Amino acid sequence: MMKVRTQVGMVTRLTALVMLLAAAFFCLQPVRADNSEPPGKTDTFTYRVIASHPHDPDAFTQGLVIDNGVLYEGTGINGKSSLRRVDLETGKVLQLHALPGQFFGEGITVFGDKIIQLTWKSRYGFVYDKNSFKLLRVFAYPFEGWGITHDGENLITSDGTAVLRFINPQTFAQQRSITVTDGNKPVALLNELEYVGESIYANVWKTDRIAIIDPDTGKVTGWLDLAGILPQGRRPVDVLNGIAYDAGQEALYVTGKLWPEIFEIEPVRVKAKSTP
């Protein structure tokens, strides 16, 4: 009996020692509230107008791009949709290709020696020769066409949701997609797109804001607020929509649907806010 009690006591003391050592081990570990990533920072920008240029007030701007100093514009509205080459300084339309009346033109981008233009609900896109505007190809896609740009390798398209798609420029097959988020919230109504530096700039429909997006993660890294850029009382106009970046001059241009002016702007950082 004495031998059994001794063995029980030894087991009890050994168990207590193990528990004590375990407690000491866990006390030495760093405390973590959870496994989530630390809050990020979203930059906020206002703007400085560097120059303004005339713009056709009847142009329902859906796409805007500058390539080698030349301004190209895509316009919408059934029966009025077009692809244009425009003189930036005067606003004069130098070359125009009218789309068939059943198509509502949307975003455009210049890829190599071609211009690619989307249409809205018909879900067809057009490929043109950049110089002659000759139609080279028609392609289909299974979503609405809103904005389009490219990163040098893939086309990037929006469809009015929070999703951006990366598209092969030869086959027009989807390679991947990202969901654009500000913190943990999706950012919907993404419209006209422009690739600026290493970021995607996107008009958010019905707002005066442009989202600055990380193309790898879809996270919004900044907001460009253009409230008040078009003086009141000029004439009835539609929403801000149109971003063009002249990489050679490092110049950023914006306009809107039916706006009488195109503005060259410089983003001005205001602050950075934490995002959950």
User: Would you state the pLDDT for residue 205?
Assistant: 97
Burial state string for 78-106 with b = 16 or more CB within 10 A and e = fewer than 16:
beebbbbbbebeebeeeeebebeeebbbb
Q: Are the beta carbons of 145 and 107 closer than 8 angstroms?
A: yes
The predicted model gives 159-186 an average pLDDT of 97
Structure tokens at 125: 């896109």
- The contacts of residue 240 (CB under 8 Å, 6+ apart) are 203, 207, 208, 210, 226, 229, 230, 254, 255, 256
Quickly count: other Cβ atoms within 10 Å of residue 232's Cβ.
6
* 14 assigned to some structural domain: no
| Of residues 233, 228, 188, the one with CA closest to residue 208 | 228
At 136 the three-state DSSP class reads strand
User: Would you state the pLDDT for residue 9?
Assistant: 44
Q: Are the beta carbons of 39 and 275 closer than 8 angstroms?
A: yes
* 230 assigned to some structural domain: yes
How many domains in the chain? 1
Q: Which domain does 219 fall in, by range?
A: 40-275
* 141 assigned to some structural domain: yes
- pLDDT tens, position by position, 222-263: 999 999 999 876 666 899 999 999 999 999 999 999 999 999
CA distance 239 to 140: 27
Residue 36: pLDDT band (50, 70, 90) is very low
Q: What is the pTM of this model?
A: 0.83
The predicted model gives 192-211 an average pLDDT of 97
The predicted model gives 28-32 an average pLDDT of 32
* 12 assigned to some structural domain: no
* 30 assigned to some structural domain: no
* 182 assigned to some structural domain: yes
CATH number of domain containing 45: 2.120.10.30
pLDDT exceeds 60 at position 17: no
